[in-house]
Amino acid sequence: MEAFESTPAVRARMSRQKSKDTKIEVALRRALHAAGLRYRVHRRPVKGVRREADIVFGPARVAVFVDGCFWHGCPEHATWPRRNAEFWRGKIEGNQSRDRDTDARLAESGWLAVRVWEHETVGEAAERVRRIVLARRTPAS
């Protein structure tokens, strides 16, 4: 991928984009906590796999990723910039490829990757995650 010329305004705007503790991520964590679930945040679920999940449910082996519509190419809301279009298409498609690879690597290790889009309602996303986590918990012997 070639480097590109960027304006100072674009560089400044992009540098302010949060990658952790976004509004949707924090709201989802609050809803999951209120539902009685306990979890870890910003952890690598599998040793040797350099991918960090936003929310990790260790015993259930569920890793939750909160994906931004722009950065991960949401099929409903993704926009393709006209400026530096080749760069951005490569960047976003690279993110999508990495996401698929992450999901596959986690699955190989017995984990389930759950993807939540930033446009999903917090209540619906939290309920979906809650059902998945409860279904994957092993019953006490």
73: domain CATH number is: 3.40.960.10
Number of structural domains in the chain: 1
- Asked if residue 9 is part of any domain, the answer here is no
- Asked if residue 13 is part of any domain, the answer here is no
Let me know: does 40 contact 32? Beta carbons within 8 Å. no
- Asked if residue 112 is part of any domain, the answer here is yes
Question: Is pLDDT of 3 > 80?
Answer: no
Beta strands in the chain (DSSP E): 40-43, 53-57, 62-67, 112-117
Which pTM value belongs to this model?
Answer: 0.84
- Asked if residue 7 is part of any domain, the answer here is no
- Asked if residue 141 is part of any domain, the answer here is no
User: For residue 2, what pLDDT is reported?
Assistant: 46
- Asked if residue 62 is part of any domain, the answer here is yes
Domain span including residue 92: 18-136
